[in-house]
């Protein structure tokens, strides 16, 4: 039926053009072989980012105790997931962990706080923390702290915040299925407040929550329209006790095709293979970096991931380098990298312990 070729998709990406939205769904089905899709995605990725991978380390600066009811989230008000819960970490703890992230090769330190949004007092606290991290370590700083307006984003920009994260998670049509305490529009308003303040935007998705291929194309287009510079693609981790009994239908191949789709539609964005890398991609993890150019090291919000040494070895074996003050070889020689390898299969879901979440206490 379609006469579209993979070369047309690649050429459109290089020319910053968009073809008809439905044509992009062919990246997700079997119209084209996986290898041809990844090859085209790699050429685009390579032209903007070479062979570099940016390493992000996430820090739950406040965990659980959230009044919102995002069904996929282990921290939601009605989640029974057995996670460690705590209020905001101290300034000293957050800064010690920023140092540790920098020394482990991180390009970016991502502070994430549960909750609907920050109070004025919290914004003041964040501002002080951001200023101190930026004064002491050559690391990019990102903050994710729920819904925000322009007063908050203006203050955070003045403090030196590099990037604001606020994920769209799923399409507008699907949003009411996953949350009823805030709306898709609330999330868009937060991104607009960040952009208006001049902060780079990070906004991504969670795949595997019942969305259609058309939903995925629509989200990739929406993120392009918002000029989002960083897109984390999370693959839903069904942590026991959360409220989304998603019948996940993801395969490693589908995950790779989704990453390629986001690369075709957001050729210049930093594309991150985020939560669920180990669980969903399994042995095909290295292939993700032919489309993506970024990852989280040392696990996710409440789930462990591969340990740092294995992740760096995987990148090196696949021919990638990291965007860091240190080389992979220098980091691999260090015994003090973040994260100690999980016991058993790294493809299982394992909940982080207090020692994982607060290593400098």
Binding site for ligand SF4 (CB under 6 A): 66, 68, 70, 73, 75-76, 114, 146
**Could you say which of 224, 263, 272, 277 is catalytic?**
272
Give the list of residues 6+ apart from residue 215 with CB closer than 8 angstroms, or none.
Answer: 170, 171, 173, 174
Q: Establish whether 202 is a catalytic residue.
A: yes
Task: State which residue, 72 or 125, has the beta carbon closest to ligand SF4.
Answer: 72
Task: State which residue, 182 or 254, has the beta carbon closest to ligand SF4.
Answer: 182
* DSSP annotation string for 238-284: --TT-S--------HHHHHHHHHHHHHHSTTSEEEE-TTIIIIIGGG
Tokens linked to 277:
């890398």
d(CA 69, CA 78): 6
Q: Which residues are registered as beta bridge partners of 86?
A: 63
The distance of closest approach from Cβ of residue 359 to ligand SF4 in the complex, given in angstroms and rounded to an integer, is 21
Task: State which residue, 76 or 156, has the beta carbon closest to ligand SF4.
Answer: 76
Q: Establish whether 45 is a catalytic residue.
A: no
Q: Establish whether 66 is a catalytic residue.
A: yes
Q: Establish whether 70 is a catalytic residue.
A: yes
Q: Which helix (H) or strand (E) holds 193?
A: helix 184-196
- Pair 69, 78: CB distance under 8 Å: yes
The distance of closest approach from Cβ of residue 73 to ligand SF4 in the complex, given in angstroms and rounded to an integer, is 3
Q: Establish whether 179 is a catalytic residue.
A: no
**Could you say which of 73, 108, 224, 277 is catalytic?**
73
**Could you say which of 70, 100, 163, 358 is catalytic?**
70
The distance of closest approach from Cβ of residue 237 to ligand SF4 in the complex, given in angstroms and rounded to an integer, is 13
d(CA 9, CA 19): 8
d(CA 360, CA 119): 26
The distance of closest approach from Cβ of residue 312 to ligand SF4 in the complex, given in angstroms and rounded to an integer, is 29
Task: State which residue, 113 or 156, has the beta carbon closest to ligand SF4.
Answer: 113
- Pair 277, 295: CB distance under 8 Å: yes
Task: State which residue, 37 or 73, has the beta carbon closest to ligand SF4.
Answer: 73
**Could you say which of 100, 108, 110, 187 is catalytic?**
110
**Could you say which of 45, 108, 142, 263 is catalytic?**
142
The distance of closest approach from Cβ of residue 114 to ligand SF4 in the complex, given in angstroms and rounded to an integer, is 4
**Could you say which of 202, 224, 277, 358 is catalytic?**
202
Helices (H) then strands (E): counts for the chain: 12, 10
Tokens linked to 169:
């998670």
**What sign results for the dihedral spanned by CA atoms 214, 219, 225, 230?**
negative
Backbone angles phi, psi at 289, to 5 degrees: -80, 0
Task: State which residue, 64 or 267, has the beta carbon closest to ligand SF4.
Answer: 64
The distance of closest approach from Cβ of residue 286 to ligand SF4 in the complex, given in angstroms and rounded to an integer, is 29
- Active-site residues, by number, are 66, 70, 73, 110, 142, 202, 272
């Amino acid at each position: 039926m379609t006469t579209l070729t993979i070369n047309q998709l690649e050429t459109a990406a290089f020319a910053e053009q968009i073809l008809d939205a439905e044509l992009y769904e062919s990246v997700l089905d079997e119209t084209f072989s996986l290898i041809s899709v990844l090859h085209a995605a790699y050429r685009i990725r390579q032209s903007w980012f070479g062979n570099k991978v940016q390493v992000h380390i996430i820090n739950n600066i406040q965990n659980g105790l959230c009044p919102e009811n995002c069904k996929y989230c282990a921290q939601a008000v009605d989640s029974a997931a057995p996670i460690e819960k705590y209020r905001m970490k101290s300034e000293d703890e957050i800064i010690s962990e920023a140092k540790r992230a920098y020394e482990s090769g991180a390009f970016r330190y991502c502070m994430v706080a549960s909750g609907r949004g920050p109070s004025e007092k919290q914004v003041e606290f964040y501002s002080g923390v951001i200023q101190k991290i930026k004064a002491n370590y050559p690391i990019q700083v990102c903050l994710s702290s729920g819904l925000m307006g322009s007063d908050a984003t203006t203050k955070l920009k003045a403090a030196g915040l590099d990037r604001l994260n606020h994920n769209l998670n799923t399409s507008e049509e699907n949003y009411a299925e996953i949350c009823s305490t805030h709306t898709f529009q609330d999330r868009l308003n937060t991104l607009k407040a960040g952009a208006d303040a001049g902060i780079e935007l990070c906004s991504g998705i969670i795949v595997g929550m019942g969305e259609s291929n058309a939903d995925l194309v629509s989200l990739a287009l929406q993120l392009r329209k918002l000029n989002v510079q960083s897109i984390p693609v999370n693959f839903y981790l069904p942590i026991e006790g959360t409220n989304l009994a998603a019948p996940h239908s993801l395969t490693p191949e589908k995950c790779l095709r989704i990453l390629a789709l986001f690369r075709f539609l957001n050729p210049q964005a930093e594309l991150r293979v985020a939560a669920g890398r180990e669980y969903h991609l399994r042995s095909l993890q290295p292939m993700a970096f032919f489309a993506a150019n970024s990852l989280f090291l040392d696990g996710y919000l409440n789930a462990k991931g591969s340990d740092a040494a294995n992740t760096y070895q995987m990148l090196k074996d696949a021919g990638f380098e990291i965007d860091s003050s240190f080389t992979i070889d220098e980091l691999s020689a260090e015994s003090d990298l973040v994260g100690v390898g999980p016991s058993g299969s790294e493809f299982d879901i394992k909940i982080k312990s207090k020692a994982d979440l607060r290593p400098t206490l």
